[in-house]
Structure 1
């Protein structure tokens, strides 16, 4: 499994013990956007039931313990407990180490009767004949005749790599600009530039899982991951 990491430049308010924002490239922003496409079952499995807030961990555990006797013949528990992540998530193996999360890109299946339904998960069943969706079908990529369009789509992910992005402590994303930076400083009531510290950090598998957890529990996710669970001091509400 690759151990590639990406670099972030953090702007930290030392007095408030808080990450104001991070300057990030395409790879990190694409990772954040991909989090929205993860199935809930995958999130629970990645973080473990004990780390889940609320009841979803208990629901997951109860399904694990439920006998197959109570399940419909056309269903199995793995569809809920081990759902397939979107195929494009395989582009980010350095952030989520669980190999079962990644699905082969552009691989699809249908039933032995060749009905009109297709699936990216061979464990699914056909709604018409209840046959296993385990028959490989060939994916045909869109034909691009314009070279410029082809270059723009070959990059993959969600955002363009030509730009640098600002990621706020609450994980909201915007393009880097002087005006946006000044706005963050004003919103966070930063009066003294001596209180600011720029820090370069590396982001990989461990930080990815921490960030996924923090995104479900905190409005100060970057502070949680890079400055510790203490987070910002009380009275600092700038996100």
Structure 2
């Protein structure tokens, strides 16, 4: 199962505050775009997560379950069932232009079909569905139009996504997300018992598709996600870069 390329997606900028002595990320400073990306992970169907990470990258046996259905002959599949229903399920926010899309393929776009034989307003996301009024297939596809992308300088209602813009967000190592303030930053330094300001290092990183997939995988396995992905605790990105 191939993973999507990052060449077609713009990256998101993230500022990390690093304790260079302990080699850990204390927290990250992020805008609306990265906060939206993290919350989008909650909307990904399990089948999509497995496909993105591949069965070999999954913890436990859920990857094998995915692989078994993928390899199952259509002879044993109900004629009204499409394999893509489980293997490539649609995410409700998968095609949003305001979010960093991990899937980056047609499987995440919304497809809507209607019955062309009667005037009843029945629709489906599967062209094999049968109209309850005339017993014919609901097979005429409509053209889905994406909502407008975020408007620079516009109101929060124009920006799409999940959270409001203008606000800066503090992303903790365990992906706890909260609005950022000077007081909250000082509180975090005290919480981590940082006594020497000299050990603090600020690092700006870019988050594209590759990093997004690493964040997704680490979020399922670790409580120190940012450290694991960006500081090389698990062989990812070196702190000296």
The alpha-carbon distance between structure 1 residues 139 and 123, as it changes in their structure 2 partners (threshold 3 A), is closer
Does the aligned pair in 2 maintain the 1:42–1:83 contact within 8 Å? yes
Does the aligned pair in 2 maintain the 1:13–1:196 contact within 8 Å? yes
Whether 1:26 and 2:41 are equivalent positions in the alignment is: no
Whether 1:68 and 2:74 are equivalent positions in the alignment is: yes
Matching residue within 217, 226, 230 for 2:230 = 226
1:54-104 CA-partner distances (Å, limit 9, x unpaired): 111010011012122222222121110111222454326755253134315
Please list every run of 5 or more consecutive structure 2 residues that lacks an aligned counterpart in the other structure: 1-6, 148-153, 236-241
CA shift at 1:10, angstroms? 0.4
Alignment TM-score, normalising by the size of structure 1: 0.80
**Moved segments of 4+, more than 4 Å:** 92-95, 111-117, 126-133, 137-142
Partner SS state of residue 181, structure 1 = helix
Whether 1:135 and 2:144 are equivalent positions in the alignment is: no
Does the aligned pair in 2 maintain the 1:2–1:93 contact within 8 Å? no
1:8-30 CA-partner distances (Å, limit 9, x unpaired): 11000112111111100111111
Alignment TM-score, normalising by the size of structure 2: 0.79
Alignment of 1:141-160 (within 5 A): 151-160=155-164
Please list every run of 5 or more consecutive structure 1 residues that lacks an aligned counterpart in the other structure: 143-149, 232-239
CA shift at 1:223, angstroms? 0.8
Alignment of 1:30-179 (within 5 A): 30-87=36-93, 89-91=95-97, 95-96=101-102, 98-104=104-110, 108-112=112-116, 117-119=122-124, 121-122=125-126, 125-126=129-130, 128=132, 132-137=137-142, 151-179=155-183
Structure 2 CA distance, aligned partners of 1:27 and 1:179?
A: 23
Structure 1 CA distance, aligned partners of 2:83 and 2:103?
A: 22
CA shift at 1:167, angstroms? 0.5
Q: Report how many residues are paired.
A: 221
Alignment of 1:187-226 (within 5 A): 187-226=191-230
Does the aligned pair in 2 maintain the 1:24–1:164 contact within 8 Å? yes
Structure 2 CA distance, aligned partners of 1:130 and 1:196?
A: 67
Partner SS state of residue 56, structure 2 = helix
Structure 1 CA distance, aligned partners of 2:161 and 2:177?
A: 15
Does the aligned pair in 2 maintain the 1:31–1:92 contact within 8 Å? no
More helix by share: 1
The alpha-carbon distance between structure 1 residues 111 and 52, as it changes in their structure 2 partners (threshold 3 A), is farther
Structure 1 CA distance, aligned partners of 2:135 and 2:194?
A: 61
